Amino acid sequence: MDWINYHHLFYFWMVAREGGLVAAGKVLRLSHPTLSTQVHALEAQLGEQLFVKTGRRLTLTDTGRVVFRYADEIFGLGREMVEAVRGRSTGAPLRLDVGIANSVPKLVVRRLLQPAFALGLPVHVACHESSYDKLLADLALHVLDIVISDAPVPSGSSVRAYHHLLEESDVSFFGATELRRQHPAEFPRCLDGAPVLLPLENLTLRRSLNQFFARHGLKPRVVAEFEDSALLKVFGADGVGFFPAPTTVEAQVCAQYGVGVIGRAKGVQERFYAISVERRLKHPAAIAISAAAVRGLAGSSMPPGA
């Protein structure tokens, strides 16, 4: 029996829905060549051309229209199947597949997922780390139940997904003992000219930090940039540079990495979201996570590190 690559099918489906590679690439935040390669791979597997170029536009061939109709049904049925299965009680542990964006601090993830383990029934949580784009694609394919990210669903996305705010936190800066000794000025002046470790330029937190530096006339020396927040902290623990992390996990960061707080970046906030294909969450574990988060937001005068 021949098996189809559903990732290839998904990208073809998005290109057809959006009306072209460029439009689909903007939605999925993937490059034109990457999408083109995926579509060509599906065409090679099927042995049929799915698009023809009409001027500067891609038009579905007769075969392409047939494949598109089936793809529409496949992804619709996939959503229905997941909802139907979750409505049944099998006695097996309740499985929650969670996608975690690389940029989300793992200490935050641990706290956000904790309510899933307090449901009073067996739960099996599977965590999948990757880039936000890949996670969003897997969410649309129903490989994942929810995605935890520091960014909401992109505006105008054709992937039918919704974001649910889980947490808001101020941002603190941390440093190893020797580094703090070498830069004794008060915060934030101690960052001027000092080595810092920052998220990549395309990440939400980095843009906010750049604005913070500009407001205070600071020119820190960026010695390394990271997508993975855990790796950033490992380098910070070695004294390579000062680094940011959410204020809500100050105590845990200090204890785990042996660093100290040098100050808080006033006006800089991180937000963390649960992304789902449902406007209203239906998975019991996801509901528990969201409900606990809502209670936390309602009483968000919690002390740092709580």
More confident residue, 278 or 7: 7
Percent of the chain with pLDDT over 90: 56
Cα–Cα distance, 270 to 291 (Å, whole number): 19
In this structure, is residue 11 part of a structural domain? yes
Q: Is 295 helix (H, G, I), strand (E, B) or coil?
A: helix
pLDDT over threshold 80, residue 297 = no
Dihedrals phi, psi of 289, to nearest 5 degrees? -65, -45
CATH assignment of the domain containing 215: 3.40.190.290
Residue 41 pLDDT more than 80?
yes
pLDDT at 114: 93
Residue 305 has pLDDT above 50, yes or no: no
Last residue within a domain, chosen from 53, 85, 117 = 85
- Whether residue 195 lies inside any domain: the answer is yes
pLDDT for res 91: 60
Q: Which residue has the higher pLDDT, 302 or 102?
A: 102
Tell me the pLDDT band of 54, cut-offs 50, 70 and 90. Answer: confident
Higher-pLDDT residue of 33 and 90 is 33
Q: Is residue 1 situated within a structural domain?
A: no
Residues in the chain: 306
Looking at 11-25, 55-69, 73-87, 142-156, which range is the least confident one? 73-87
Confidence check: pLDDT of 76 > 80: no
What gap in Å lies between CA 145 and CA 94, rounded to an integer? 12
Asked if the structure places residue 294 within a domain, the reply is yes
Whether residue 281 is predicted with pLDDT greater than 60 in this model: the reply is: yes
Instruction: Report yes or no on 33 lying in a domain.
Output: yes
> Are 69 and 152 part of one and the same domain?
no
Tell me how far apart the alpha carbons of residues 276 and 290 are, in angstroms, rounded to a whole number: 11
Instruction: Kindly state the average pLDDT of the residues 150-175.
Output: 87
SS3 call for 173:
strand
| 108 and 70 both lie in a single domain | no
254 vs 55, higher pLDDT: 254
Which residue range forms the structural domain that includes residue 110? 90-306
Question: In whole angstroms, what is the distance from residue 40 CA to residue 8 CA?
Answer: 9
- Say whether both 205 and 185 belong to one domain: yes
Confidence of residue 221 (pLDDT cuts 50, 70, 90): very high
The arithmetic mean of pLDDT across residues 35-53, rounded, is 91
Least confident of 82-96, 202-216, 242-256: 82-96
**Does 77 share its domain with 95?**
no
Answer yes or no: is 225 within a domain.
yes
Residues 53 and 72 in one domain: yes
Q: Is residue 234 part of a domain?
A: yes
Q: What is the mean pLDDT of the chain?
A: 88
Compute the average pLDDT of residues 214-225: 97
N-terminal to C-terminal alpha carbon distance within the chain: 54
pLDDT band at 160 (very low <50, low <70, confident <90, very high): confident
Domain boundary residue, one of 61, 85, 109: 85
Q: How many CB atoms lie within 10 A of CB 181?
A: 9
**137 plus 153 within the same structural domain:** yes
Residues 79 and 113 in one domain: no
User: In this structure, what token pair is assigned to residue 135?
Assistant: 């996670």
73 and 107 share a domain? Answer: no
- Over residues 74-102, the mean pLDDT reads 73
Regarding whether 28 and 103 lie in a shared domain, the answer is: no
Q: Are residues 76 and 94 in the same domain?
A: no
Do 30 and 101 lie in one domain? The reply is: no
Residue 185's Cα: distance from chain center in Å? Answer: 35
Residue 62 has pLDDT above 60, yes or no: yes
Q: Which residues contact 33 (CB under 8 A, 6 or more apart)?
A: none
Closest of 24, 4, 3, 2 to residue 14, by C-alpha? 24
Q: What is the mean pLDDT of residues 194-207?
A: 94
Residue 86 confidence (pLDDT) above 70: no
Distances (CA, A) of 164 to 154, 185, 206, 258: 13, 40, 22, 33
Are 157 and 13 found together in one domain?
no
Check residues 65 and 87 and name the one with the higher pLDDT: 65
* Boundary (domain end) residue, out of 85, 119, 144: 85
Task: Examine the pLDDT at 79 and tell me if it is beyond 90.
Answer: no
Whether 277 and 226 have beta carbons less than 8 Å apart is answered as: no
On whether residue 235 sits in a domain, the answer given is yes
Structurally, the chain folds into a number of domains equal to 2
pLDDT surpassing 50 at residue 1: no
At 10, which CATH number? 1.10.10.10
